[in-house]
Amino acid sequence: MKRTACVFVATAVLAGCARAPKAKAPQPAPPGHGLPSGAAALLPLPARLEPGRGAEFRITGKTVLHAGDPALAGSAAALREWIRRATGIAPAPASPVAGPPENAIELSLDPARTALGPEGYDLVIDAKRVLLTAAAPAGVFYGVQTLRQLLPYWAEHEAVLFAEPRPATLPPLHIEDTPRFAWRGAMLDVARHFFTVDDVKRFVDLLALHKMNRLHLHLADDQGWRIEIAKWPDLTAKGGLGEVGGTPGGFYTKAQYADIVAYAAARFVTIVPEIDMPGHTNAALASYAQLNCSGQAPPPYSGTEVGFSALCVDNPATYQFIDDIVGEIAAMTPGPYFHCGGDEVKTLTPAQYRTFIERVQTIVQAHGKQMIGWDEIAGATLLPSSIVQHWRPEAPKDTLARAAHLVLSPADRSYLDMKYHSDIAIGLTWAGLIPVKTAYDWDPGTLVPGAAPGSVLGVEAALWAETLANIRDLEFLAMPRLAAIAEVGWSPASLHSWEPFRLRLAAQAPRWTALGINFYRAPDIPWKSF
């Protein structure tokens, strides 16, 4: 395909870019979203997008799908299934050929394309073929998510909607896309309310659709311990029984956790396990009397207060416990991180707290993991590899700026458990109301003044579960704000703009509806109907 020099971006359909170069007069901008028709639902917005000049690519019974590398088999299978649902046609796998045949969709790896990085991709669509190239498999996976958003929304229906094959088209274009940040995460609190393996997988699906790559699981808090630990079986046998409100809790067996890890890995999502300590530990303290300074186990807790519990930090046996926990979780977690929590400790002196965090950090390192903790840990002496997760809007910015690595989850922007609006029954308000625009309109590049260049790894949306009873509640608070945070993490700052975002968000409604997502129909978004 002949490339024009004219790069076209979201808000500015530059004069002459949308058509043949002979057209001198400025072209009318497509309505609002600033993307060529057929590409109006891309979210997050690609870094560079240039409309093509020829005809559309038509998916017919003759279309073949070729994945040039076995590492791309998962992405190819997913794409084939979306195409089948969209058209009633499952493209045949092409046998390897010298050059891609016509009417072909070709997925390939080219490690020489280093500028694409580990997650970027290059997608060229013209009348004859679709070429998706990346330097690594994750890039092809994200390119396939882009193709998915170019297919009709009914690709998301599990049942094919019509009896006869119905060809679909893909718009001619060239996308060269790389993420702004390496860390594009979401945290799910499975401790305050328990979510099943299937619920967690459904959440992973939402992350993958929006090119997010970290799922932080908050696996233990005052109300529940949710992960099987062989050496300390009562953590789950006793500590896993309840949840907020006194309803039955639950926990993941090691096999179930492995299932979550594998499901996430197949979608290029890394699991970040969190065991919150030294506070938020009532479930552990209630399970084992010896973890308490008093030697007495407290009763289980099903309320929503914070800050009252703490491990017995001056007892050497506490560190044996932590070593066992970190060791077992590290062994079942392929990702490089262990999250130690560290937030909201109200019962220890600052010196006790700092000493505790530094000891835990040594244990985490000994088990081969990189420690991450909530922003209170920034007051301790941290290893160069440790990561500070900023959450308190009032956290001292100068302390944060000294952190070697930061993940940004400002509660007044990215806490998905805050209410959208005061009339909504579920959600909290302590960090304020967070309508969609508030979740979208911030810049991780300037949030922490003085942060060293490159120290901001990225962003993470947090979904605390005090008020969530089930997956429907989860979806309602997450969507659409999760999509807003995904774009903050992926798309370049120069393209960040509420108005075109709002219209692309509106264009998600048919797809999300087909997926059965219980999203909040925020009144300031002109949601598209079918």
In whole angstroms, give the CA distance from residue 314 to residue 393.
31
**Closest residue by Cα to residue 42 from 8, 16, 17, 69:** 8
Least distance from ligand TNX to the Cβ atom of residue 429, Å: 9
- Tell me which residues in 410-439 interact with ligand TNX (CB under 6 A): 415, 417, 428
Hey, which residues does 133 pair with through a beta bridge? Answer: 108, 122
In whole angstroms, give the CA distance from residue 84 to residue 160.
8
Least distance from ligand TNX to the Cβ atom of residue 306, Å: 5
Least distance from ligand TNX to the Cβ atom of residue 389, Å: 8
In whole angstroms, give the CA distance from residue 504 to residue 39.
9
Cβ-based nearer residue to ligand TNX, 337 or 391 = 391
**Closest residue by Cα to residue 282 from 320, 250, 243:** 243
Cβ-based nearer residue to ligand TNX, 256 or 304 = 304
Among 50, 344, 394, 460, the active-site one is 344
Least distance from ligand TNX to the Cβ atom of residue 230, Å: 27
Interface with ligand TNX, residue 374, by CB under 6 A: yes
Cβ-based nearer residue to ligand TNX, 428 or 433 = 428
Please identify which residue in 343, 412, 460, 475 interacts with ligand TNX, judged by CB under 6 A. Answer: 343
Q: Is 344 an active-site residue?
A: yes
Using CA atoms of 456, 461, 464, 467 in order, give the dihedral in degrees to the nearest 10. 150
Cβ-based nearer residue to ligand TNX, 44 or 427 = 427
DSSP states of 303-363 as a string? Answer: S---S-----TT-HHHHHHHHHHHHHHHHH--SSEEEEE-----SS-HHHHHHHHHHHHHH
Interface with ligand TNX, residue 57, by CB under 6 A: no
Residue 102 class from Cβ within 10 Å (0-12 exposed, 13-18 middle, 19+ buried)?
A: exposed
Query: How many chain residues are in contact with ligand TNX, going by CB under 6 A?
Result: 10
Please identify which residue in 153, 232, 301, 464 interacts with ligand TNX, judged by CB under 6 A. Answer: 464
Cβ-based nearer residue to ligand TNX, 54 or 303 = 303
Tokens of 301: 């807790």
Least distance from ligand TNX to the Cβ atom of residue 328, Å: 23
Tokens of 170: 């893909």
DSSP states of 78-127 as a string? Answer: HHHHHHHHHHS--PEEPPP-SSPPSSEEEEEE-TT-GGGTTT-EEEEE-S
Residue 14 class from Cβ within 10 Å (0-12 exposed, 13-18 middle, 19+ buried)?
A: middle
Cβ-based nearer residue to ligand TNX, 467 or 491 = 467
User: Which ranges of 172-250 does DSSP label H, i.e. alpha helix?
Assistant: 197-209, 234-237
Hey, which residues does 217 pair with through a beta bridge? Answer: 188, 273
Cβ-based nearer residue to ligand TNX, 211 or 216 = 216
Interface with ligand TNX, residue 391, by CB under 6 A: yes
Residue 27 makes CB contacts below 8 A (sequence gap 6+) with 13, 15, 16, 17, 18, 19
Least distance from ligand TNX to the Cβ atom of residue 282, Å: 12
Least distance from ligand TNX to the Cβ atom of residue 276, Å: 8
Q: How far is the CA of 148 from the CAs of 75, 81, 143, 210, 304, in angstroms?
A: 11, 10, 9, 11, 40
Q: Which residues are designated catalytic? A: 344
Q: Which residues bind ligand TNX (CB under 6 A)?
A: 306, 343-344, 374, 391, 415, 417, 428, 464, 466
